[in-house]
Amino acid sequence: MAVCLLVPLAACEKKQTTVSVNAPATAAALGKVIFHDASLSASGVMSCASCHSPDHAHAQPNALSVQFGGVAMDQPGTRAVPSLRYMQKTPPFSFDSEGTPSGGFNHDGSAETLAIQVERPLLAANEMANGTRANVIEKIRLSQYAPAFRKLYGEHSLDHVDTAFMHLSNALQEYQLQADEFHPFNSKYDFYLAGKAELSPAEMRGLRLFNEEKRANCAACHPSEKGDDGSSPLFTDFTYDALGVARNQTIAANADSSRFDLGLCQSGRQGKAADTASCGKFKVPTLRNVGTRQVFFHNGQIKTLREAVAFYVTRDTHPQSWYPVVQGKVQKFNDLPKPYHKNVNVQESPYDRKLGQKPALSDQEIDDVVAFLHTLTDGYSASQKTK
């Protein structure tokens, strides 16, 4: 899922990784080199790893709502950067028998596979800004790893642009599917599930609230239990939801008051995905490593994990805390045209409360859920003391 969204010039990773032309190559190994190669951007300073930093759970390394890219690294993006971790079991996009959308990649599900997802960031003018596939492949031909590319895919594998681009996309996909760094399953919660760590009292309270249907109800979309086959939970059900997050006025594109990011219904998919009932819906992300994130939701409007949890439980009981108030009236769901307000989830707990009612969680309980969410951060050692 090489979504090389955008970072300021100073934040870009300038180190380029090279591979010995004589080294035995696999698609995954080549994909790693490509992932870290800043020369594949028009600016020459931005790689996929710049925005999907391995040191930040393959997510953005800063607290900007959107990142900057382009030839001069001065073109703003329109969405927050998603993490690339734990994408290996994401299914192709589909609707189930009840009409619920699920699967696909990107916030709006516009890409069918990790390989297909590669093209947009490489070509987009406000990202790596190559413009055409031909420009990307020409850079591959001139790279130090071109011989390894040809050794892996064939002597003439770089001769034809579309075929070469398919191989490049495959290499990036295989890197993300095969490398343990993208799905290490070594958080404190994983140790807890294996009986090798204990959760603190606050973390345990948070887990119970997370799972409780009439309280936080997070597990409704972010399952926390092992699969029937014993597989570790991914903390997403791959579905889509409309949460009505407030408009982020720091996004340059939002200076146009008539412009709305409508998610699934603007994904370019046809049929039911393009129906107005899909407007405002974005893919449910994994919550693994959510404690390392610096911005939340598709538009980066919220900046801390505690605020994100508080938004869920007080959006409807105290909307004035999250939306602008104009002439005494709260502008609820102000990042959606009014006809699409009906798409926002107001049925499930904790969204089913009314204005002025008691939220589903108290302040202390919000803190407990946050404590639990921090147990989903990769890199825990069983020798660490339980907090």
pLDDT of residue 10: 40
Residues 100 and 236 reside in one and the same domain: no
Flag whether 171 is in a domain: yes
Flag whether 298 is in a domain: yes
Residues 165 and 204 reside in one and the same domain: no
CA distance 364 to 319: 20
Flag whether 386 is in a domain: no
CA distance 24 to 308: 46
Flag whether 1 is in a domain: no
pLDDT of residue 310: 98
Domain CATH number, residue 345 = 1.10.760.10
Last residue of a domain, one of 182, 206, 226: 182
Flag whether 382 is in a domain: no
pLDDT band at 382 (very low <50, low <70, confident <90, very high): low
pLDDT band at 344 (very low <50, low <70, confident <90, very high): very high
- Number of Cβ atoms within 10 Å of the Cβ of 170: 20
Residues 28 and 80 reside in one and the same domain: yes
pLDDT per position as a tens digit, 267-314: 999 999 999 999 999 999 999 999 999 999 999 999 999 999 999 999
Q: How far is CA 197 from CA 230, 320, 373, in A?
A: 18, 41, 15
**Spatial CB neighbours of 59, under 8 Å, sequence gap ≥ 6:** 52, 53, 81, 82, 83, 84, 85, 289, 292, 293
pLDDT of residue 383: 63
CA distance 226 to 211: 13
Q: Is the pLDDT of residue 224 over 50?
A: yes
Residues 270 and 167 reside in one and the same domain: no
Last residue of a domain, one of 157, 182, 207: 182
Flag whether 242 is in a domain: yes
Flag whether 383 is in a domain: no
Q: Which of 3-7, 59-63, 78-82 has the lowest mean pLDDT?
A: 3-7
Last residue of a domain, one of 161, 182, 203: 182
How is residue 7 annotated by DSSP? -
Residues 198 and 105 reside in one and the same domain: no
CA distance 114 to 239: 17
pTM of the model: 0.93
Residues 167 and 198 reside in one and the same domain: no
Tell me which residue range forms the domain holding 46: 9-182
pLDDT of residue 55: 96
Q: Which residue has the tokens 């109800």?
A: 217
Say how many domains are in the chain.
2
pLDDT per position as a tens digit, 178-206: 999 999 999 999 999 999 999 999 999 99
Residues 32 and 162 reside in one and the same domain: yes
Identify which of 160, 374, 383 has the alpha carbon closest to the alpha carbon of residue 287: 374
Residues 105 and 197 reside in one and the same domain: no
Residues 153 and 229 reside in one and the same domain: no
pLDDT of residue 21: 45
